[in-house]
Amino acid sequence: MPEPKPQILIIDDSSFNRNLISSVLLEVDYRVIEAPDAEKGLALASEESPDLILLDVTMPAMDGYEACERLKKSEETKDLPVVFLSNRSKKEEIIKGFECGAVDYITTPFCREELLSRVRTHIDLSRSRKAIAAMKDDYQQLLQMVCHDLLNPLSHIRYIFEAEKDHPDLLITMKEEIREAVENGIGIIEIVRKMRRVSDAGERLDLDAVDLAAVAGDLSHMLQERFREKGIELTIDIEKGVHVIAERTSLLNSVLNNLLTNALKFSNPASTVVLGAREVGGQIHITVKDSGIGMSERLIEDLFKMNAVTTREGTTGEKGTGYGMRLVKRFVDAYGGSIEVSSKVQEEGVNDHGTSVTVKLEKADPV
């Protein structure tokens, strides 16, 4: 998809100035939105997240300096570049503008070519910063994938070796499980490499018909010790022969693994987590449901946002990174599916608390 045209927000109480600046910007195909005062400008900045803000210094009620300071204090608008427009050209006023957080200060009346040149420069810088931030988040997600997803096969292998002390023949009887765990770990590394190519070169993820019951069974073996340690029962309600369009390694290790370990983390000991699936209109709805502490509406809204902080402790102090659900959505999107989250917070008088996450994938015919 082509990159959208840059959007510029003009905040100025003078309609003449707004019309003049707007006409110059529209000539070169920028998208322009306008606000006649600072209060409306702050609201528009939060709603639209423009590529650049052109902010008048002298306005009634709230001047440009105060408006800029409020923009920089808000989590939603702090990274938006602000360029001051003013007929004040004293050195101390220009310095004050930069101290408020502006990236530039243009004195009026302005030269058309100068305005366009500075606007172009700051939009290029803004988009470069966003691209770098997106790349950083991408690397963080892939690193989280390796650290989080390799934990299960490695923990399973460690559990077998520890149990072997009391059962000398265990390594022989569980030889196939060890081999599968090793293959699973190698598969995780390969899928990380593949996702890197998907991001860098625009390649597609290779999708296939995946046996959902078989994947759930493998994951149950890998997680059984962690569920047992916390005293939580894992119930799997998936009929044999159900297949979905996905990529097996990531569905097992990054999607279902994250959903189940999240359910485990936020469930109370001696409770139950259910992994189920049902067909709905040509789709398979995979649901992970727990009766744990639940999530607020605000937390649900932030689950998949790039820069939102969603990490929190589990019911027995478990730590997390907050990247898991973003990783889940990344793969579900790659499969052509969708994801829904509903939850009710645990509090006094609430009996049906807990979280339900449903992944909707296209049904596939068995291979």
Domain shared by 184 and 45, yes or no: no
Domain shared by 104 and 179, yes or no: no
Radius of gyration of the chain (CA): 27
Phi, psi dihedral angles at 311 (to 5 degrees): -70, 145
Bridging pattern class, strands 104-107 and 82-86: parallel
Predicted local confidence at residue 303, as pLDDT: 83
Q: Do the domain assignments include residue 116?
A: no
Q: Which of 195, 233, 211 is nearest to 286 (CA)?
A: 211
Domain shared by 197 and 164, yes or no: yes
- DSSP class of residue 348 equals T
Domain shared by 167 and 80, yes or no: no
Q: Which of 254, 298, 288 is nearest to 141 (CA)?
A: 254
Residue type, 304: F
Cis peptide, bond prior to residue 109, ω within 30 of zero: yes
Q: Do the domain assignments include residue 294?
A: yes
Domain shared by 58 and 160, yes or no: no
Length of the chain: 367
Residue type, 262: N
**Contact status, residue 17 vs residue 56, Cβ threshold 8 Å:** yes
> Would you state the structure tokens that stand for residue 218, as one six-digit string?
């493998």
Domain shared by 103 and 139, yes or no: no
Q: Do the domain assignments include residue 122?
A: no
Adjacent-strand bridge partners of 273: 234, 290
Q: Residue 354 sits in which domain range?
A: 133-364
Predicted local confidence at residue 224, as pLDDT: 85
Residue type, 96: K
Instruction: Report the C-alpha gap between 103 and 83 in whole angstroms.
Output: 6
Assign residue 98 the CATH number of its domain. Answer: 3.40.50.2300
**Contact status, residue 245 vs residue 364, Cβ threshold 8 Å:** yes
Domain shared by 95 and 184, yes or no: no
Each residue's pLDDT, cut to its tens digit, for the chain (367 residues) gives 556 789 999 999 989 999 999 999 998 889 999 999 999 999 999 999 899 999 998 888 899 899 999 999 988 899 899 999 887 767 888 888 888 888 888 888 878 888 899 899 998 888 888 777 777 776 666 666 666 667 767 777 787 788 777 777 777 777 777 877 787 777 667 766 766 666 555 557 789 999 999 999 988 888 888 899 899 999 999 988 899 999 888 898 889 988 998 999 999 999 999 999 999 988 999 999 999 999 988 888 888 875 555 677 888 887 665 567 877 888 898 899 999 999 999 887 777 899 999 999 999 988 6
Q: Which of 247, 287, 280 is nearest to 263 (CA)?
A: 287
Bridging pattern class, strands 208-211 and 283-290: unpaired
Domain shared by 157 and 72, yes or no: no
Total number of domains in the chain: 2
Kindly report the pTM of this predicted structure. 0.58
> Would you state the structure tokens that stand for residue 348, as one six-digit string?
């006094």
Residue type, 269: P
Alpha helices by DSSP H, listed for 76-174, are 91-99, 112-163, 170-173
Domain shared by 95 and 157, yes or no: no
